Structure 1
């Protein structure tokens, strides 16, 4: 009886190995920005003309808004303004391409940082992405690879413009700034 179970186990192991080895992953589509959680999706934005909470306020970017540093390309996707419990938040979604950094480089090594300011004050990143080593800013990105990053900052208010300044890690590139007004 034991030999029969061992034989079945070996057969299953061989079939599993064969299946994994033969799966074609060349057409796997990876979503750089998985669906937002229900609590984030239900957040409301601010109508800055009347200061009433309304639907989400979103600023989107085009391919023309992308910029390249020596080793990376930054593709801003959108900034979403939300309100929760009387506080306002801006969520920046972008993708970055590892143009020439070593294999498996991380977003945290591609840039010295992103300085986000509103009304001259440096804002705090509140999603915990930098502290969480499993977050998208710590994903090892191969040369030529593109990976999505999502960062949320607490705002001072919903009226003043927000400046996102991307500071490259290399010494040959100048910082780039995108400004958003809701």
Structure 2
């Protein structure tokens, strides 16, 4: 089975638990939003249960949330009925070029195989307006594709694309982005997995 699809099916099974555990907006999201024009349009790429989408909408931004997990989207639509959400694979988005001021990809690239990362980032670049910004949060470490025991469902394996700090810098450079801000920290709980948390804000160049 496709690795991203496998991850989405597992998220279907843990959607309720996940939405209760991760109920606050992503870290450093305000630093990202400060760089987006007022009332700007933002793509929440891998929106999950819609927490970040709801937060950005409340701040006055126009938001489109997309995710490959049907159950996650059901929760998002119930919680935030005024936001438009779509079931979609981040690797195959069909969106208008130069139409978004920002893209937020919080812990979504980690579920995309390495061979698909560059085409996905190239599409993100295409969707952004001139000087558009992208926010990326991921688990960083020694580069590799692995399967781990899902913290909420330990008897099942979850696919992760672990991206090193140097690797994401190189990937962003190759796909037309320049890093504006970078933050990192150690994991705070077992649900965050045993990897450094990396947060990057970059701009389209």
Give TM-score scaled by structure 1 length: 0.32
Structure with greater strand percent: 1
TM-score, scaled to structure 2? 0.29
